[in-house]
A and B are shown apart, each in its own frame.
Chain A
Amino acid sequence: MTVRVQADPFDLVVELGSFAAGRSDVGAQVSFTGIVRDDTGALQHMLIEHYPGMTEKAIGAIEATAVTRWNLKDCLVIHRYGALRPGDQIMMVATAAPHRADAFAAAEFLMDYLKSRAPFWKQEVTAKGADWVAAKDEDEDALKRW
């Protein structure tokens, strides 16, 4: 299990190439990548703030829960902070399991919990100023299915 919280970009190909590499007990690997989206064409950048210390602990706890609930051989979460531009990668999750059902479900679980239980806050910066992104009720509701 790995957690990385960083300002720097990550290379998806490199990460997936080394994730769970060399294992013979993994038959399924799932990954998700979050990307900065610009719905209106006005977004200059997305500023991501986090709580150093708690962020790593909270993500580690979410990973630890995932490992107890599904048959996972490994999982990886990378989440960036700082100023990101539209099209930039924000974060990624990868899971490795003997079978795909566990890998898919655990990846979705990790994503749902990262959305509302990892201490990140997003601010959208446009020519008109900066607005904090409000948490969505459906993100909180998404936790109920787990």
Chain B
Amino acid sequence: MIDILYFAWVRERIGIPKEKLDTQAATVADLVEELKAREPRYEAAFGDVSALRVALDQELANFDAPLAGVREVAFFPPMTGG
């Protein structure tokens, strides 16, 4: 079971800030495909993953990163701090 967090417009498109998922996805990209297949709102958020960033256990990662041992995955747009 992993926690999936969504921020900014990703959160708005999916409609929730957080959910738990029992997944067998091996990588972030596999998880994205699994989510997109669920409902159109996920397709709306993940249609163009080049516009997204991902963090695994609060560290920035790539979409080909493995999910083994990961407890928290977060998806969000490029950051605009400062």
Spell out A's residues near B (CB within 8 Å).
34, 49, 51, 53-54, 57-58, 79, 90-91, 111, 114-123, 132-135, 139-140
Contact = CB atoms under 8 A, between A and B. Distances in A.
A120 B81 CA distance: 5
A30 to B, nearest CB: 16
Contact of A54 (B74, B80, B82): B74
A54 B57 CA distance: 8
B7 to A, nearest CB: 6
- For B5, B8, B59, B78, the residue with the greatest tally of chain A CB atoms inside 10 Å of its CB is B8
B13 to A, nearest CB: 11
A12 B52 CA distance: 34
A135 B58 contact: no
A111 B9 CA distance: 24
13 contacts: A49-B8, A54-B59, A57-B58, A79-B81, A91-B82, A115-B80, A119-B7, A119-B79, A120-B79, A120-B80, A121-B7, A121-B77, A123-B8
Contact of A121 (B58, B59, B80): B80
A51 B80 contact: no
A140 B55 CA distance: 17
A117 B60 contact: yes
B8 A121 contact: yes
B49 to A, nearest CB: 15
A53 B5 CA distance: 12
